[in-house]
Amino acid sequence: MTDALVELHRLTVNFDDRPVVDHVDLRVQRGDIITIIGPNGAGKTTLIKAILGLQPISGGALKIAPGLTIGYVPQHLTLETTLPLSVRRFMLLSGRSHQECMEALTKTGVEHLLHASVHRLSGGEKQRLLLARALARRPDLLVLDEPAQGVDINGQAALYELIRSLRDELNCGVIMISHDLHLVMAATDKVICLNQHVCCSGYPADISHDPAFIETFGRPVAESLAVYHHHHNHSHDLHGDVVSADHDDHTECSHAHH
Amino acid sequence: MPIIDAVLGDFFWRALIGGLGVALIAGPLGCFVVWRRMAYFGDTLAHSALLGIALSFLISVPLNVGVIVTCVVLAIALVLFSRSKTLATDTLLGILAHSALAIGLVTLSFMPDIRVDLTGLLFGDLLAMSRNDLLWIYGGALLILALLTVLWRGLLMSTIHEELARVEGVPVERLRLVLMLMFSIVIAVAMKIVGVLLITALLIIPAATARRLAGNPEHMVGLAILFGFIAVSGGLTMSWHLDTPAGPSVVVTGFAVFLLVYGSARQVQT
Ligand SMILES: Nc1ncnc2c1ncn2[C@@H]1O[C@H](COP(=O)(O)OP(=O)(O)OP(=O)(O)O)[C@@H](O)[C@H]1O
Ligand SMILES: [Mg+2]
C-alpha cells in the first residue's frame, strides 16, 4: 500500500462547543478523487480547512505527508479592489514560470483573459482562474471547494473531466466538495456524504442506495441518481475498471449534429 | 565635502531631504495600509508615538527607540486583542488611539523640567530635523526597502488572499509582525515631518491617489512614492514661505494632488 497524502483519524472541529466536524476518518492517496457532498452547513468547508491547516482542530489526529505541494481553490474569492491586479500578475505570484502559468490558463480555458483585471472577471471565469492557479503549482494534492460553482453547464462536465485528467497527469490526490450530485456520481472514485459526521461513504454506484444517503438527501434525489446510473453510458466491471456500454444505448441520447 | 555641509547646514534642506526619505518609505507602506484597510490601525499606532516619547524621557532612551518599541508593543497587543472579538475592532482602535494620546500628553505634563515642543510633535516642525534624524530616516529607509524587496512576494500574496498564501506556505503571521515593525519605524521617522496627528494622511493620501492611475501593485507603489515626493516638497515650500506648520502644509498639498488626479484622470482598468 502506498503512503497516504492525508490521513485523518477521528478528526473533530468544534465551534462554541458544537461539533461541526465530528469524528471524521479519511485517507487520501495519490490518484484518489474523493468528493465530499452534504447539505449547506454540513461542515464540508470546515473539514477541508482543517486539512489545509487553516482551521485549528479540536480533537483527533491529522497527518499530512511532509513537503506536500497543495493546490487550493477556496469556496469564495473576495479580492480587495484597492489592489490593482491583472490575471497575469496573479498567476505569476504563484512563483511559477510564465509558460507554466499560460499552460494552466489554457487548460482551464481562460488564457484569453491574461491581461484582464481580476476584479472584472465573471464568477465562472474567476473559478477557472483559481483552478489554473492551483494547477500551475503542479500540486501533489488538489483541494477544491465547489470548483464548478458559477461555471456554465457545458463547462461543468468539462471541468470535472479536466480534474480527472489532471489526476492522471500529475498523479495527485484530489479532495473536492461539490453539490453537482449527478456529475459527481459519474466522475468520482469515492464519495463521502458529510453531515457533521460521515453519514455514509463509498463508490458512487452504491451510495445512492444507502439508507443514510436517502435520509440526508431525500428519496427523490436518491432515486434520480439511481436512475441516472442506469442510463449511464459506461459501467464498472468487478475491478472497478470502466467498460464501454453497448452502442445501442448511445443512439437514444445522441446529439443532433448539423 | 563643503557643498554637502552647506546643504546639511541649512534647516530647510535638511527638512526637505528628510521628508523625501520619509516619502520614499511612506509610499509602499501606505499602499499596504490602503490594501489591508489599516488606516485606523495606522492612526492608532501613530497616536501612541506620543506615549513613546514620554516614556523615552522617563527612562532616558533615544526618542526614536522609545517610539518604535512602544508602537511595536501596541501593534502586537492590538493584533492579539482583536482576535478575541469581544469588542468591534474599530471600537477597540478608537479606545486605544485616544487613550494612548491622552496618556502620552498627561505623562509629558508631569515632566515640567523637560521642554518639549508639543505643537511640533503634533503637527510637525521644519526646524526639528537634525543631522542625526537624517541618519535615522535613511537608515530606516534602507532597512525597510531591503525588507520589502526580499519579502515582496509573500507580503503581496498574504495581502491578496491570506488563506491561499497560507496554503502556499507563506509565513503569514511572521510577515504581519514584520509589517508592524516597518510601520513603527515609519511612524517614528515621519513624526518629525508631519507630526503625530497627520502621519496616517501621509501614508494613505499618496497611495489612494496612485490607485487611480495604477495597473499593477508595483506601479501603484512607484506612483505613491512620486505623489509623496510632491506632497513633501510642496508642503515644506509652503511652510517656508507662508510660515504655516509643516505637517498640515504637506497634507494640504497631497490632498490637492489627490483632488486633481481624481478630478481629471480616467480610471485605469485594473
Ligand atoms: N468561524 C466560524 N465560527 C463559528 N461557526 C462557524 C464558523 N465557520 C463555520 N461555522 C459554522 O459551521 C457550520 C459548517 O460550516 P461550513 O462552512 O463548513 O459548511 P459547508 O458544509 O461548507 O456549507 P456550504 O455547502 O454552504 O458551503 C455552519 O453552521 C457555520 O455556521
Ligand atoms: Mg462550504
Q: How far is the CA of A177 from the centre of ligand 2 (A)?
A: 8
User: Is position A250 within any domain?
Assistant: no
DSSP string, B67-102: HHHHHHHHHHHHHHHHHH-SS-HHHHHHHHHHHHHH
Percent of chain B, pLDDT > 90? 47
Of A201 and B144, which is predicted with more confidence? Answer: B144
Q: Which residues contact B115 (CB under 8 A, 6 or more apart)?
A: none
Check CB contact under 8 Å for A84 and B270: yes
Backbone torsions φ then ψ of A245, nearest 5 degrees: -80, 170
What pLDDT score does B89 carry? Answer: 79
- Closest-approach residue (CA) in chain B for A83: B35
What pLDDT score does B82 carry? Answer: 73
Å between B35 CA and nearest CA of chain A: 6
User: Is position A122 within any domain?
Assistant: yes
**Ligand 1 binding pocket includes A26 (Cβ within 6 Å):** no
User: Is position A112 within any domain?
Assistant: yes
What are B90-123's pLDDT values in tens digits?
A: 888 888 888 988 998 898 888 877 777 888 888 8
Check CB contact under 8 Å for A94 and B156: no
Q: Which of A82, A90, A129 to probe by mutation at the B interface, max B CB count within 10 Å?
A: A82
DSSP string, A98-114: HHHHHHHHHHTT-GGGT
User: Is position A198 within any domain?
Assistant: yes
Q: How far is the CA of A41 from the centre of ligand 1 (A)?
A: 5
Q: Which of B164, B212, B221 to probe by mutation at the A interface, max A CB count within 10 Å?
A: B164
Euclidean distance between CA atoms A235 and A242, whole angstroms: 6
* Best residue for ligand 1 mutational test, from A20, A40, A49 (most atoms within 8 Å of Cβ): A20
What are A182-203's pLDDT values in tens digits?
A: 777 766 778 888 888 888 877 7
**pLDDT for residue B133 is more than 50:** yes
Euclidean distance between CA atoms A88 and A83, whole angstroms: 14
**Ligand 1 binding pocket includes A45 (Cβ within 6 Å):** yes
DSSP string, chain B: -HHHHHHHHSHHHHHHHHHHHHHHHHHHHHHHHHHTT-HHHHHHHHHHHHHHHHHHHHTT--HHHHHHHHHHHHHHHHHHHHHH-SS-HHHHHHHHHHHHHHHHHHHHHT-TTS---HHHHHH--GGG--HHHHHHHHHHHHHHHHHHHHHHHHHHHHHH-HHHHHHTT--HHHHHHHHHHHHHHHHHHHHHHH-GGGHHHHHHHHHHHHHTT-SSHHHHHHHHHHHHHHHHHHHHHHHHHH---HHHHHHHHHHHHHHHHHHHPPPP--
A79 vs B contacts (CB less than 8 Å): 160-161
What pLDDT score does A228 carry? Answer: 47
Euclidean distance between CA atoms B194 and B228, whole angstroms: 12
Q: Which residues contact A225 (CB under 8 A, 6 or more apart)?
A: A181, A182, A185, A208
What are B60-83's pLDDT values in tens digits?
A: 888 888 999 998 898 888 888 777
Mean pLDDT of B137-157: 95
For B166, which of A54, A80, A86 is closest by C-beta distance?
A: A54
Number of structural domains chain A divides into: 1
Ligand nearest to the CA of A195: 1
Q: How far is the CA of A15 from the centre of ligand 1 (A)?
A: 9
Euclidean distance between CA atoms A129 and A85, whole angstroms: 13
What pLDDT score does A249 carry? Answer: 37
Is B34 an interface residue toward A (CB < 8 Å)? yes
Nearest CA to ligand 1 atom 5: A15
Mean pLDDT of B147-174: 94
Is B117 an interface residue toward A (CB < 8 Å)? no
What pLDDT score does B9 carry? Answer: 79
Check CB contact under 8 Å for A83 and B35: yes
- Tell me the three cell numbers of residue B206: 499618496
B153 vs A contacts (CB less than 8 Å): 93, 95
CB contact at 8 A, A137 and A69 = yes
Residue A55 half-sphere exposure toward CB, CA atoms < 13 A: 19
Interface of B with A in 41-80 (CB under 8 A): none
Residue A91 CA: distances (Å) to CA of A76, A100, A130: 17, 9, 9
* Best residue for ligand 1 mutational test, from A13, A24, A44, A197 (most atoms within 8 Å of Cβ): A44
H or E segment to which residue A19 belongs: strand A18-28
For B156, which of A72, A82, A93 is closest by C-beta distance?
A: A93
Euclidean distance between CA atoms A145 and A127, whole angstroms: 10
What are B201-241's pLDDT values in tens digits?
A: 999 999 999 999 998 999 999 999 999 999 999 999 999 99
- Closest-approach residue (CA) in chain A for B268: A84
User: Is position A248 within any domain?
Assistant: no
Question: Quick one: how far is CA A19 from the chain centroid?
Answer: 24
* pTM summary value: 0.85
**Edge-to-edge strands of the sheet including A70-73?**
A70-73, A141-145, A173-177, A33-37, A190-195, A197-202
Q: What are the residue boundaries of the structural domains of chain B, listed by start?
A: 2-264
Beta partners for residue A19, in sequence order: A14
Euclidean distance between CA atoms B32 and B224, whole angstroms: 11
Check CB contact under 8 Å for A86 and B159: no
Residue B77: how many other CB atoms lie within 10 Å: 12
Backbone torsions φ then ψ of A180, nearest 5 degrees: -85, 75
Ligand nearest to the CA of A40: 1
Residue A233 is part of a domain; what is its CATH number? 3.40.50.300
Backbone torsions φ then ψ of A37, nearest 5 degrees: -120, 165
CATH 1.10.3470.10, domain B2-264, yes or no: yes
What pLDDT score does A123 carry? Answer: 86
CB contact at 8 A, B209 and B257 = yes
Between the two ends of chain B, the Cα-to-Cα distance in Å is 47
User: Is position A236 within any domain?
Assistant: yes
Residue A257: how many other CB atoms lie within 10 Å: 4
Residue B43 CA: distances (Å) to CA of A164, B77, B94, B199, B229: 51, 15, 9, 7, 21
**A48: domain range?**
6-75+84-203+229-243
Q: How far is the CA of A75 from the centre of ligand 2 (A)?
A: 6
Q: Which residues contact B218 (CB under 8 A, 6 or more apart)?
A: none
Q: How far is the CA of A61 from the centre of ligand 2 (A)?
A: 22
User: Is position A249 within any domain?
Assistant: no
B270 vs A contacts (CB less than 8 Å): 84-86, 117, 119
What pLDDT score does B267 carry? Answer: 62
Check CB contact under 8 Å for B268 and A84: yes
What pLDDT score does B266 carry? Answer: 67
What is the value of ipTM here, to two decimals? 0.84
Euclidean distance between CA atoms A202 and A190, whole angstroms: 5
Check CB contact under 8 Å for B167 and A119: no
CB contact at 8 A, A100 and A136 = yes
**Ligand 1 binding pocket includes A44 (Cβ within 6 Å):** yes
Backbone torsions φ then ψ of A244, nearest 5 degrees: -70, 145
For B211, which of A70, A82, A117 is closest by C-beta distance?
A: A82
What pLDDT score does B91 carry? Answer: 86
Question: What is the DSSP secondary structure assignment for residue A255, as one 8-state letter?
Answer: P
Each of the 258 residues of chain A gets a pLDDT tens digit; together they read 567 899 999 999 999 889 999 899 999 999 989 999 888 999 999 999 999 999 999 999 999 999 899 999 999 888 889 999 999 999 999 999 999 999 999 999 999 999 999 999 988 899 999 999 999 999 999 999 999 888 888 888 888 888 888 899 889 999 999 888 777 776 677 888 888 888 887 777 777 777 777 777 777 777 666 544 444 444 444 444 444 444 433 333 333 344
Is A64 an interface residue toward B (CB < 8 Å)? no
A80 vs B contacts (CB less than 8 Å): 35-37, 159-160
Q: How far is the CA of A48 from the centre of ligand 1 (A)?
A: 11
Residue B210 CA: distances (Å) to CA of B88, B223, B226, B257: 30, 5, 9, 10
What are B22-48's pLDDT values in tens digits?
A: 999 999 999 999 999 988 888 888 889
